[in-house]
A and B are shown apart, each in its own frame.
Chain A
Amino acid sequence: MQILELFWLLPVVNIIACLLAFFFGKTVSRGKAQVWTLPAIAFSWVMSILGAVAVIGDSHLAHEGITKTYKWFEFGPDMFFQMGIHIDGFAVVMCLVVTTISMMVQIYSIGYMRGEPRYVEFYAVLAVFTAGMLILVTADNLFLGIFGWEIMGLTSYLLIGHYYEKRENSNAAIKAFITTKTGDVGLIIGAVVVYWATETFNFGAVNAKALEGEFHAPLLLVACIALFIGVIGKSAQFPLHTWLPDAMAGPTPVSALIHAATMVVAGVYLVARMWPTFVTAMNVHIANVNLIALIGAITAIIAALLALVQFDLKKVLAYSTVSQLGYMIFALGIGAWGAGVFHLFTHAFFKALLFLGAGSVIHSVHSNDMRDMGGLRRIMPRTYWTWIVGTLALCGVFPMAGFFSKDEILASAYHNGYKWVWAIGLAVAFLTAFYMFRATHLTFHKNYRGHGHPHESEGLITGPLIFLAIPSAIIGFIGAPGSFNLFEKWATPAAVEETIAKYPVLHPHPVDTTTFVLAGISVALALLGVLVATVVFYWEKTPGDIVERVAPIRYLHRFLANKYFLDHLYGGIVYGIRKPIADACYWFNQNVIDQVLNLTAAGTLELGKGTYLFDQNVLDGFYNGSAVGTDRIGGFFRKIQTGNIQQYAAVFFAAMALLALALVFAVR
């Protein structure tokens, strides 16, 4: 029995855990809902580890994967939906990421959420979220994938609005839901077009048809653009990125799990899974400009700029996440599949670590605002050192995990001919180092500026931090460039390898002096960012009021602090569309409908005068007579009219039952 064939158990056990927690969490386990969900996630984690071992041992299995399907439901002759899993190296990697982060977050939440309202529901939703993500990454077809995708959309909404007593939190939840649903319209259209053109939802079959040119080219482009709109919504790409920073209204463990490490990479996963299709549709192999690279690059740079002016610790990380998601998307858009997915893998660990670290700080300081922090290095040493590991990994400093994945993306951009993407990527690397060390200095260095008495968090909170710091520090080595790149060897599906083999531009680049020079440039820029941030925020060498005094900087700061006025723009668009329609309706009502009504009324009046005479003399006599009769009958029947609808319903059903009986006998 092959272990990978049992991977359908992963989502199933988590769904069962959710139900158990939901129904028995308050009664049997007396509010300790984690006793239901933790065994499920631990089981899934062990399964993922075993799966990874199996994949590492068998490269054929890692590339081809195994598929198990059965017919889900039929909707016509030879038309049916399948439910199935396709597990290859890539899917195992994703399962490993999801289960590891989810397990750490659930352990962390025992400490973090203790005594919070709706603790049981929190765990139940976390479990079903994990199940949704696992459904997406194990699914062998787009339809089932969308199923998991939407489960995540729902749970994201529920968890962002966890503290729904505060109006802004429930508004943030609604905003996240509506924005991602806007993208999901594209996803559904894309899925339907894919089915229409290829008569299958199966990822493998769609990819194969696209590669062999059997996918009608215009339809292919339409399908991929539509699917990519879904990705833009889910993975918070420009211009639908505005929901993710607001999603920080949820509890911090949720931000770590859903809005940093797993759910928001669902879009990246979809592009990676259908990469051969996207490459063919968007002509990624012709190094120029394509939609995926463009959107990814724009997102990466604008989000990094926005992170510079935030004072909310979680919002810095949120914009950083948006920026890094842009990195992954443009990596896929420039043809660097392995690098993009590897960045997804490493980013999940260190961004979850950073978010959980931020949660530890917030839990201790009782504020999100970095202006109330400072000097926490001595008070919270474990949080501080793990935070430093995460920060260095995010900045891409050797030998942390982020160094390998980020450099691989940049080197691929350079080699594949996307020089403009490479330049933007370098700028983002500099900005990333700058804003992360700005946050570090404001939070942990200098003197404490808050009012409370912070203390180091308990073991349940720092334990997951230390656990996650280990992969954040060392896991990059499995993706070292060239022949050492074990990650690409294990995780690349066969279809992706075919695509790379087909287009010369995408061939892996050799490891030579250029590689080291490129790596040197990006690390130097990152260190420069660290240096600038230290000069400005630690040594405070610049005059503090530079923002107020220099006009261009002031305007730039205002522009960024207002998030490019995008929220205003969206509000304005909705208002702008609504106003003319309402005006037109009002005009039509006043001028057309009213005129018609007035004329009708005048005519009716004249008619009425004539009728009045006839009515008074002839009809009244007749009607008065019948009215007396009606009154008596009505007097009898009004007693039946009790006004209670349930009595009406009872009579109705009794009558229907009698009618049914009569029918039965009549037919006989």
Chain B
Amino acid sequence: MKLNLFLTLSAFLFCLGVYGMLARRNAVMILMSIELMLNAININLVAFGALHGNLTGQIFAFFVIAVAAAEVGIGLAIVLLIYRNRASVNVDDVDLMKG
């Protein structure tokens, strides 16, 4: 079965996303890494959907895409506001929640 190929690709993309999310300092790059992880999940969903021969996985993937679009919309708006207030999108600079 070719499923393994898809799962490997998905895992690779996911790890790439995790790495980007943890290692990048630029908030926009972090958002992009999150997109990467979400799409890795989508590949998984579609691959398993194909394995079972039904549409559930694909429909689920569509929902993920819709949610991801909303998420990136809000995320970028927040980043933009941070940039306007602080002239920086470095997440290290944004630690107002520090206890």
Contact = CB atoms under 8 A, between A and B. Distances in A.
Given A75-B55, A646-B91, A641 B21 contact: no
A649 B55 CA distance: 32
B21 A646 contact: yes
Contact of A644 (B53, B55, B95): B95
A640 B94 CA distance: 16
B55 A643 contact: no
A642 interface: yes
Given A638-B99, A643-B99, A650 B91 contact: no
Interface in B19-77: 21-22, 30, 53, 55, 58
Contacts of B5: none
Contacts of B30: 645-646
B99 A646 contact: no
A645 B92 CA distance: 8
B99 A649 contact: no
Nearest to A645: B91
B27 to A, nearest CB: 9
A643 B97 contact: yes
B55 A641 contact: no
B1 interface: no
B18 interface: yes
Given A75-B55, A76-B55, A646-B91, A641 B97 contact: yes
Interface string A478-500: 00000000000000000000000
B96 interface: yes
Interface string B79-94: 0000000000001101
Interface of A: 75-77, 637-646, 649-650, 653
Contacts of B55: 75-76
Contact of B99 (A76, A639, A650): A639
B99 A641 contact: yes
B75 to A, nearest CB: 12
Nearest to B59: A75
Contacts of A77: 53
For chain B, give the interface size range: 10 to 19
B98 interface: yes
A641 B22 contact: no
A650 B30 CA distance: 13
Given A643-B98, A643-B99, 15 more contacts: A75-B58, A637-B99, A639-B99, A641-B99, A642-B95, A642-B98, A643-B94, A643-B95, A644-B92, A645-B30, A645-B91, A645-B94, A646-B21, A646-B91, A653-B18
Contacts of B21: 646, 649
A75 B91 CA distance: 40
Contacts of B99: 637-643
Given A646-B21, A646-B22, A641 B98 contact: yes
A639 B21 CA distance: 23
Nearest to B23: A646
B64 to A, nearest CB: 16
A653 B22 contact: yes
Nearest to A77: B53
A306 to B, nearest CB: 39
A75 B98 CA distance: 48
19 contacts: A75-B58, A77-B53, A640-B99, A641-B97, A641-B98, A641-B99, A642-B98, A643-B94, A643-B96, A643-B98, A644-B91, A644-B95, A644-B98, A645-B94, A646-B22, A646-B30, A650-B22, A653-B18, A653-B22
Contacts of B18: 653
Contacts of A645: 30, 91, 94
Nearest to B97: A643
Contacts of B98: 641-644
B62 to A, nearest CB: 10
A638 B98 CA distance: 8
A644 B97 CA distance: 8
Contacts of A650: 22
Contacts of A643: 94-99
Contacts of B96: 643
A579 B22 CA distance: 46
Nearest to A79: B55
A632 to B, nearest CB: 14
- In the A-B complex, list the 7 residue pairs whose CB atoms are closest, starting with the nearest: A643-B95, A643-B98, A638-B99, A641-B99, A643-B97, A650-B22, A76-B55
A643 B98 CA distance: 4
A76 B53 CA distance: 8
Nearest to A642: B98
Contacts of B92: 644
B9 to A, nearest CB: 16
Contacts of A640: 99
Contacts of B22: 646, 649-650, 653
A552 B21 CA distance: 68
B15 to A, nearest CB: 10
Q: Which of B53, B58, B97, B99 has the most CB of A within 10 A?
A: B99
A434 to B, nearest CB: 51
A642 B98 CA distance: 5
